[in-house]
């Protein structure tokens, strides 16, 4: 296992939550990947979901690019914004496949007590991965 994985429920969660750490790890030459669980399609008032999701993804790519992250290290799972569900088998498997492929040594998560629905469910999804799947790293920073 090598590298850092930032587990972001929505675009901007990675930068607001640990942007400084992302930039630091990249500056130290470490491999960093950011996975956006949703595209944040509910996060743009007055803009339809698909269009809003595309806009938020582009903004996220620009933001992590400013932190030094290469495009191939940015992943969008496009799970439903506002609908992260740790009990959903398809969501669980889509995250598990990516984690197994990337094999991170360290994972950054939203804090467990974050009141936002998708952020707290992202934490629960990670816990389920750790309890139910082999090959999931145990060093987690929230």
pLDDT by residue for the chain (142 residues), tens only, comes to 469 999 898 899 899 889 999 999 999 999 999 999 998 888 888 888 789 999 999 999 999 999 999 989 999 999 998 888 888 889 888 988 898 899 888 888 877 666 666 666 666 666 666 655 666 655 555 5
Q: Are strands 106-108 and 74-79 parallel, antiparallel or unpaired?
A: unpaired
Contact, 38 vs 79, CB < 8 A? yes
pTM reported for the whole predicted model: 0.84
Structure tokens at 104: 């991170």
Compute CA distances 86 → 34, 47, 91, 125, 134, whole Å: 19, 27, 7, 4, 17
CA distance 94 to 110: 19
Answer left, alpha or beta for residue 65, where phi above 0 means left and psi between -120 and 50 means alpha: alpha
Residues, the chain, total?
Answer: 142
């Amino acid at each position: 296992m090598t590298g850092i994985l930032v587990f972001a429920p929505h675009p901007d969660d990675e930068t607001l939550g640990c942007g400084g750490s992302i930039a630091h790890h990249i500056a130290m030459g470490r491999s960093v990947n950011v996975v956006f669980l949703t595209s944040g399609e509910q996060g743009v008032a007055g803009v339809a979901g698909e269009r809003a999701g595309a806009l938020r993804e582009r903004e996220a790519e620009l933001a992590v690019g400013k932190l030094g992250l290469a495009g191939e290290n940015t992943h969008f799972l496009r799970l439903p914004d506002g609908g992260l569900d740790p009990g959903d088998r398809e969501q669980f498997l889509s995250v598990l496949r990516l984690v197994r492929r990337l094999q991170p040594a360290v994972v950054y998560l939203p804090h467990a007590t974050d009141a936002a629905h998708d952020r707290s469910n992202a934490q629960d999804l990670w816990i389920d991965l750790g309890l139910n799947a082999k090959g999931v790293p145990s060093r987690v920073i929230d």
